[in-house]
Amino acid sequence: MKSIAIAVITTLTLALNACSQGDVGKTASEKKVGVTMKWITDHVFMRPESALYDRERDMIYVSNINGAPIEKDGNGFISRVRTDGTVADLKWVEGLNAPKGMALAGGKLYVTDVDRLVEIDIASGKIANAWDLKGIFLNDITADSAGALYISDNMANLIHRFDDGEARVWCAQGLGGPNGLLAEKSRLLVASLGEGVVKTVPWPDGPAADWVKLEVGLDGIEPVGDGGYLVSVFDGAVYYISSAGVPQKILDTRPKNMQSADIGYIPQLRLLLVPTFGDNRLAAYEVTIQ
Q: What is the DSSP letter of 276?
A: -
Confidence check: pLDDT of 15 > 50: no
Q: How far apart are CA 248 and CA 155, in angstroms?
A: 28
Tally the residues of the chain: 290
One DSSP character per residue, 75-128 reads: -EEEEEE-TTS-EEEEEEEEEESSEEEEEEETTEEEEEETTEEEEEETTTTEEE
pLDDT given for residue 9 in this prediction = 31
Report, as an integer, the average pLDDT of 187-204: 97
pLDDT given for residue 37 in this prediction = 96
Q: What is the DSSP letter of 234?
A: T
Q: How far apart are CA 172 and CA 192, in angstroms?
A: 13
How much of the chain exceeds pLDDT 70, in percent?
A: 90
Q: Which one is predicted more confidently, 57 or 15? A: 57
Report, as an integer, the average pLDDT of 130-158: 96
Report, as an integer, the average pLDDT of 199-220: 95
Report, as an integer, the average pLDDT of 19-25: 34
Confidence check: pLDDT of 14 > 50: no
pLDDT given for residue 290 in this prediction = 83
Residue 13's pLDDT band (cuts 50, 70, 90): very low
Residue 18's pLDDT band (cuts 50, 70, 90): very low
pLDDT given for residue 242 in this prediction = 92
89: amino acid identity, one letter: D
Dihedral of the CA atoms 127, 181, 1, 60 (nearest 10)?
A: -50
CB 183 within 8 A of CB 144: yes
Residue 257's pLDDT band (cuts 50, 70, 90): confident
pLDDT given for residue 259 in this prediction = 87
Q: How far apart are CA 51 and CA 275, in angstroms?
A: 6
Mean pLDDT computed over every residue of the chain = 89
Q: Which of 17-26, 117-126, 189-198, 245-254 has the lowest mean pLDDT?
A: 17-26
Of 53, 47, 103, nearest to 75 by C-alpha is: 47
pLDDT given for residue 16 in this prediction = 29
Specify the CATH number of the domain 21-289: 2.120.10.30
pLDDT given for residue 26 in this prediction = 52
Residue 280's pLDDT band (cuts 50, 70, 90): very high
228: amino acid identity, one letter: G
Q: How far apart are CA 65 and CA 45, in angstroms?
A: 9
Q: Angle at the Cα of 136 (from 130 to 137), degrees rounded to 5? A: 80
Residue 32's pLDDT band (cuts 50, 70, 90): confident
Q: How far apart are CA 164 and CA 282, in angstroms?
A: 34
Sign of CA dihedral 148, 210, 266, 114: positive
Residue 264 burial (CB count, 10 A): 24
CB 256 within 8 A of CB 237: no
pLDDT given for residue 28 in this prediction = 52
Confidence check: pLDDT of 170 > 90: yes
Report, as an integer, the average pLDDT of 246-255: 90
pTM: 0.89
